[in-house]
Structure 1
Amino acid sequence: MNAANSSEPVHDFLGLRGKTILVMGVANKKSVAYRIALVLRQAGAAVIYSVRSEARKESLEKLLKDQPVIVCDVADQAQIDSLARHLAAEQVVLDGLVHSIAFADYPEGIRPFHETTRRQFLQAVDISAYSLISVCNALKDRFSEQASVVTIGISTTRMASESYGFMAPIKAALESSLAFLTKSFSRFSEVRFNSVSAGLLKTSASAGIPGYVDSYLFAEKVIPRRRAVTTDEVANTAAFLLSSRSSGIAAQSIVVDAAMAINYFDADVVQAVTAQDID
């Protein structure tokens, strides 16, 4: 029987209908955070958005329409605390949190890793990794008993990709913190912390990283299906992790790379490179 023609009611498989999710990090319609929020809303969840500035809020008004948007620059602890107070005043209970926030400053383009400055590294750690810890601590009383927290990582933190600058060690710190957050929160709740560790994506943020586009095009050649990972594929995985269907998954980094990691030595790619060397 064709499910579309069935008289039976559609089952809410993910169980997200009526849930309230805070999504942090929307920049534009190409953002991972925006695509996640879209999937959540399609599943019937209520989404609260958090953006880094008033200017960003104004630029997103048409995109987000009448959705609730709160300004919170995670580099400022006072704004994180203000976010928590606002949600408390509104008596919001969060069933989930999406942390899709990352920042790295490359004023002179990508430099060798050993030339990374203290200011660059610590700023990136603060905004991209520590912010998850700080936000979750501030919101600990706002989470439901079995809430799910999902952050966005990268498919591997061991590949020394020059096009990603110094962000891989930062993402490694972010992903490592998932285990420690899960453990510390287990003292008073069943809140879960996981990461969607994405392969190379076509987003406005990634396009601004020097050399990233070339790496993205290479990824398309190496991935077995010859198509790069899409933002929606990452969003769908995040929605699953935010749902009760993933209740047994905690302190994990789920890799979404379309099997790129198994195929670095694809025969066609190796042949193309070696042929250039011969020429």
Structure 2
Amino acid sequence: MPADFLQLEGKRIAVFGVANRKSVAWHVVQELGDAGVEVALVVRSPERRESVAKLAGDLPIFVCDVEFPEQIEALAHELSARFERLDGIVHSIAFGDYSEGPKPFHETNKEQFLRALDISCFSLVAISNAFKDLLTPQASVVTVSISTTRMASENYGFMAPVKAALDSSLAFLAKSFSNFSEVRFNAVAPGLLKTSASAGIPGYVDSYLYAERATLRGRAVQTAEVAATVAFLLSPKSSGINAQRLVIDAGMEVNYFDQRLIAGFLGTNSSGA
């Protein structure tokens, strides 16, 4: 197999959402760096830039809080002045305010829901629009979703509908951009991961441990596995994939009735009669 099988060497890609070494975005940066990609990091705040700089070394780091349209536009101008083109964008941005703890979905606060929708979903639309003239005609845009938005996990709450909106937006962005380019829009949709962001979700650890048992291999999905799939979707080798989501859950969705899980459930709930 050739060293540059993915044909990514020399590409320029902006990666949004690096927070720390556990971030999906940081694993993507490492994967792309190994493939010879020129990476530009985009973080949320000047403070975050200082902390990420300790990881990133000489990689350029830009600041953009996607809640503010003027910052997205300013970033587009800043990157245009530095790079004549971008071959891809990685959107690894999500935010959910769980400060009030887990609540029944029908009690979701409107402000919380709309802010999560703005940061986690609409930001992809806004970034794509602001960067449309900087992207090459065959560029690839990849976002990070979740393995399923149809499972009503109480602790994840309003974020699942927000991710469903993100997934739906892929088709509409791909259709819109097809009027003037071949830019592709896809998502990686991982199962439960061990990241700093997930640690803020109430009850996440128990869900993570269950998900690990539910995989066909009995081992949790690794963030590096997600990053490798992102790299594939950014590469010309995935040129026929557009407006899709690739699920990365180690087979969990087909294994909910695994005999080991059932036996464990029956053992826990046995009446002893």
TM-score, normalised on structure 2?
0.98
1:275 aligns with 2:267: yes
Comparing 267-276 and 98-107, the one that deviates more: 267-276
C-alpha separation in 2, matches of 1:143 and 1:215: 38
Partners of 1:263 and 1:151 lie apart in 2 by: 26
2:188 is aligned to 196
C-alpha contact (below 8 Å) 1:163/1:215 kept by paired residues = no
Paired letter, 1:78:
E
Partner SS state of residue 163, structure 1:
coil
Structure 2, unaligned stretches of length 5 or more?
Answer: none
Write the mapping of 1:1-279 to structure 2, written as runs, cut at 5 A: 10-279=2-271
CA shift, 1:271, in A, is: 1.3
Letter in 2 for 1:216: Y
Pairwise CA distance, 1:11: 3.4
Once the two structures are TM-superposed, the CA of residue 163 in structure 1 deviates from its matched residue by 2.1
Superposed CA offset, 1:103-141 (max 9, x none): 000121111111101100000000000000000000000
SS in 1 for 2:25: helix
Instruction: Provide the C-alpha distance between the structure 1 equivalents of 2:83 and 2:20, rounded to a whole number of angstroms.
Output: 28
Contact 1:22 1:97 (C-alpha < 8 Å) held by counterparts: yes
- Secondary structure of residue in 1 paired with 2:145: strand
Letter in structure 2 aligned against 1:251: A
Structure 1 residues 133-167: Cα deviation after superposition (integer angstroms, max 9, x where no partner) = 00000000000010000000000000001121211
2: CA distance, partners of 1:11 / 1:27 = 30
Give the letter aligned to residue 112 of structure 1: P
**Cα displacement string for residues 51-89 of structure 1 (whole angstroms, at most 9, x for unaligned residues):** 000000011111011110000000010100000110122
Other structure's SS at 2:246 match: strand
Aligned partners of 2:74, 2:37: CA distance in 1, in Å? 24
> Cα offset for 1:257?
0.3
1: distance between equivalents of 2:83 and 2:33? Answer: 21
| Cα distance in 1, alignment partners of residues 239 and 22 from structure 2 | 29
The answer to whether the 8 A contact 2:98-2:200 is kept is no
- Secondary structure of the residue aligned to 1:135 is helix
- Are 1:222 and 1:266, in contact at CA under 8 Å, matched by a contact in 2? yes
Where does the alignment leave 5 or more consecutive residues of structure 1 unmatched? 4-9
| Corresponding residue pairs, total | 271
Aligned partner of 1:6 in structure 2 is none
Residue 215 of structure 1 deviates from its aligned partner by 0.3
Please, what is the CA RMSD of the aligned residues?
0.9
Per-residue deviation at 1:92?
A: 3.3
Q: Which amino acid aligns with 1:196?
A: V
Cα distance in 1 between the residues matched to 2:212 and 2:126: 36
Cα pair 1:98 1:151 within 8 Å, conserved: yes
Contact 1:222 1:269 in 2 (8 A): yes
Query: Would you say the 8 A contact 1:103–1:128 is kept in 2?
Result: yes
Distance 1:90 1:276 in 2: 60
Q: Secondary structure at the match of 1:86?
A: helix
Give how far 1:249 is off. Answer: 0.1
